[in-house]
Structure 1
Amino acid sequence: MINKILVAFLLLTSVTFLAQRTNSSPYSYFGIGEEFSETTVEQSSMGGIGVAFNHYKYLNFTNPAAYSDLRYTTYSFGILNNDLTVKSGTSKQNVNSTSLSYFALAFPIGNKAGLSIGLQPVSSVGYSLTNTATDFSERTSFSGDGGVNRIYSSFGIKVAKGFSVGVEADYNFGNVDNSILKEINGVSLATKYEENTFIEGTSVKLGVQYQKELKNKLILNAGATFKLGNSLKVTGDDYLYSLTFTGSPKDTVSSNKINGKFNLPLKSIVGIGIGKYDNWYAGLEYENQEAISTTGLVASTSGAYRYGSSNRISLGGFYLPKINSISNYWNRVTYRAGARFEKSGLMVDGSGNNTNFTPIDDFGISFGLGLPLQRLSSVNLGFEFGKRGTTNNNLIEENYFNFRLSLSLTDKWFEKRKID
């Protein structure tokens, strides 16, 4: 009964978080917003690695093949708190936002397979910027909110000794609203441009993993995933209208239907790792994707930004001193650390002449703790310091601190009761 109440509470909390503004980054204006990595708190604390890693109780959002090693039912709820310092050439501002990271359930199917289902944000939009002319003759305000979420199902199965395969399917959906308000001194009416869009699409991911035991109880892991190319359909309306300075719309100048697509090419991730079972692990991972393209979206072809190929390299791992220690609690704590460098693929022109595009890169260092609870459950804490963007070319640099928290409840389901 307690488990059912807890699951109901987490579901209600998830819906509440999904309804809130969950982002403060100016870069969330572009495309479908700031994209979240598909990682658990445990994975994020290790630099985002996970394609080669598998475990009997941990969720793995990177590689569905990892669920072939699952032996316990695990349900988990994750939260992200982002403290962001935004810096331009002349000013600095600090903002804070909190969002749902995921809500997921995974359970074994027999001794060679596992299944996971869950809800997770894909991207988030949440910005508010104002540009005032040097002589204060006019002011332009930019704002946006919304985002895209996904419902997914992952399945992994062991097909041979040490070799597993997996498949994941998801449905992406969400609303994104953007607006531009322009006010000019001496003009009685302001003008406002507004976009209201709905984004949806499906995707499929294939995964493989290989595991081999070496000498001295060392275990070698290798893995790869391939997220097949797909499109996110964008539909909605845009409006241009005049309004009074009290904010009341007066006349609609124009309105149009929006019908376009974000075309996402194949994304591949490969990785390798080595470690000792429930003691330590170290892994290296590389991700690559060709440039995103768009169809029928004016904002993406106006020249302000464009996409190039993206890639990421991550290094991380964990150390667990003694999993069955009775005398020392801290010997049963899992210590995690990692680092990542990412080329997001987004390139922005800050000069205003649509000829000088600067890539928006991201670098982060992370660490975390896995605090054991009763039986196999745990509370996981993750901390990440990083920097994205640059102040060059009239752009914005973001320095961020991410605090992540998850509760992972692990138990055995479908177990026959033993009667003495």
Structure 2
Amino acid sequence: MIKKLVLVFIVLFTIQSYAQESTASPYSFYGIGSLKFKGTVENRSMGGLSIYTDSIHVNLRNPASYAGNNLAAFNGETRPVKFAVGGSYSSITLKSTTGSDDASSTTFDYLALSVPVGKFGFGFGLLPYTSVGYKLESLNEDDAIENRFRGEGGVNKAFFGLGYQISEKFSVGIDVNYNFGNIQNSTIEYNFDNDGNPLQFQSRENNRSDLSGLNINLGLSYKTMLNENLELVSGLTYTPESNLSSENERSFSTITISSSTGQEFVSNTVEVDLDALDLKETDLILPSKFSIGAGIGKPRKWFVGVEYASQRTSNFSNPLYVFSDEDGNPINKYENASSFSLGGFYIPQYDAFRGYLKRVVYRAGLHYEKTGLNIKNESINEFGISFGLGLPVGTFFSNANLGFEIGKRGTTNSNLIEENFINFQLSLSLNDKWFQKRKYD
């Protein structure tokens, strides 16, 4: 057990050591950033499918998965304690109607532990929920820089979950999540003289929001054998609408910018009295979310399933940032989000004594998502195809998981940006037996 924990923390340290900005998406400009949490590497390798649950993998999206049937390998007495840690690397090509650019990001994705206690199961861990990381510029009619936007930060999620097995087929669960983090952004408005030369001093708006709040996630899981070989697996989750408290700061700085390096030097700064504007402390609405899915397969052999999720993203609001049209009328940048996932896995022979490749889990899937952003009357959608391998390591069905995903987000219509991405994911799913009944003759 100690060796496995050491391995987990070595992987976690390695991921964090090489981490840069955890996203490079210009669409993280909106709301509280781009959604990072899409499940474990196993989930993402199956197109984001999260309905499948078993006794040897952590499922972070459905808390009902913390409970389940005991393993025959453990004499039917218990289930293994499950560790999971994962990270990913993304390479993105940003494309517009006038050009393209490349960006990349490396991020820690999750650290979790699931502990069985009879018909109950407990889970807890830490993961990034959203991420902000963008550097954008807009040009004026003379193709000179007009505004520069920068942002970083995001929201993290620490969770504690409880699952309970009501019957051999039916489990329920609940996650209690504490969301916390901060988002920092700045906007520089460039001014020019009559000859079109930038002025010596420019203005920069600085914003910071420190975010915190609680929410819950409810889950159901139902599994039954249709015949001797075929199993039906289904799942349902619901996250009620909740609030995220935001403590805000805003200031304006006079800066000079080096023409050779682009480095910014602050001359003076004036703090904005947000209390007077009733914006010092605000509440953000985190929309409700619902998912449902089902699939069929042969236990420990193959599985294929579909899942649909919807989120009331149109209810999202942030009083600190209000978008307006040319006439000063507020614009809602959000519409309801939805996603569809199709995926599954195949194992040639999970208990093969010879032939390592026979015990490898082969995963594949695809997903289509309406992200909930609507910019210039264009819905920002995402499509991706994913593949993955579950490589057996050690004992108790532990494995290392590799994932690969290619896809596209956004569009070049209406002068927007299209993202073409390639994601590589790595995780460890380690199992151990903590509680053993001692038997004496």
- 8 Å contact from structure 1 (residues 38, 61) kept in 2: no
- 8 Å contact from structure 1 (residues 83, 95) kept in 2: yes
SS at match of 2:272: strand
Aligned amino acid, residue 273 of structure 1: G
Matched, 1:274 2:296: yes
- How far off its partner does 1:133 sit? 2.9
Equivalent residue number for residue 352 of structure 1:
none
SS at match of 1:149: strand
- Which of 426, 438, 441 aligns to 1:405? It is 426
- How far off its partner does 1:293 sit? 2.5
Equivalent residue number for residue 208 of structure 1:
220
- How far off its partner does 1:130 sit? 2.2
Matched, 1:387 2:404: no
Matched, 1:345 2:365: no
Equivalent residue number for residue 358 of structure 2:
331
Equivalent residue number for residue 100 of structure 2:
92
Matched, 1:223 2:232: no
Aligned amino acid, residue 313 of structure 1: F
SS at match of 1:37: coil
Equivalent residue number for residue 353 of structure 1:
none
Q: Deviations over 1:1-51 (max 9, x none)?
A: 434534554565576678x52111100111000112341100100011113
- Which of 233, 239, 244 aligns to 2:251? It is 239
Aligned amino acid, residue 339 of structure 1: L
Equivalent residue number for residue 50 of structure 2:
50
Equivalent residue number for residue 131 of structure 1:
138
SS at match of 1:298: coil
- 8 Å contact from structure 1 (residues 14, 103) kept in 2: no
SS at match of 2:237: strand
Distance 1:190 1:210, change over 3 A: same
Aligned amino acid, residue 101 of structure 1: D
SS at match of 2:414: helix
Number of aligned pairs?
410
SS at match of 1:307: coil
- 8 Å contact from structure 1 (residues 262, 292) kept in 2: no
- How far off its partner does 1:254 sit? 5.2
Rounded Cα–Cα distance in structure 1 between residues aligned with 2:15 and 2:423: 19
Rounded Cα–Cα distance in structure 2 between residues aligned with 1:336 and 1:189: 56
Distance 1:312 1:298, change over 3 A: same
Matched, 1:362 2:382: yes
Superposition pairs of residues 21-420 of structure 1, within 5 angstroms? 21-51=21-51, 53-69=52-68, 71-110=79-118, 112-184=119-191, 185-246=197-258, 247-253=264-270, 255-257=272-274, 258-290=280-312, 291-300=314-323, 303=330, 306-349=333-376, 357-375=377-395, 376-416=397-437
Distance 1:228 1:301, change over 3 A: farther
- How far off its partner does 1:251 sit? 3.2
- 8 Å contact from structure 1 (residues 241, 251) kept in 2: yes
Higher strand share: 1
- How far off its partner does 1:295 sit? 4.7
Rounded Cα–Cα distance in structure 2 between residues aligned with 1:377 and 1:160: 26
Q: Deviations over 1:177-210 (max 9, x none)?
A: 1111133325221110111111111111111111
Q: Identity rate of aligned residues, in percent?
A: 39
Which deviates the most, 254-263 or 168-177?
254-263
Q: Deviations over 1:327-364 (max 9, x none)?
A: 21111000001111111111112xxxxxxx21101111
Distance 1:410 1:137, change over 3 A: closer
Which deviates the most, 95-104 or 186-195?
186-195
Rounded Cα–Cα distance in structure 2 between residues aligned with 1:137 and 1:367: 43
Which deviates the most, 129-138 or 28-37?
129-138
SS at match of 1:97: strand
- 8 Å contact from structure 2 (residues 190, 198) kept in 1: no
Aligned amino acid, residue 132 of structure 1: L
Rounded Cα–Cα distance in structure 1 between residues aligned with 2:218 and 2:230: 27
Runs of 4 or more, structure 1, over 6 Å off, are none
- 8 Å contact from structure 2 (residues 284, 319) kept in 1: no
Extract unaligned runs of 5+ from structure 2: 70-78, 192-196, 259-263, 275-279
- 8 Å contact from structure 1 (residues 17, 100) kept in 2: no
SS at match of 2:55: coil
Which deviates the most, 282-291 or 239-248?
239-248
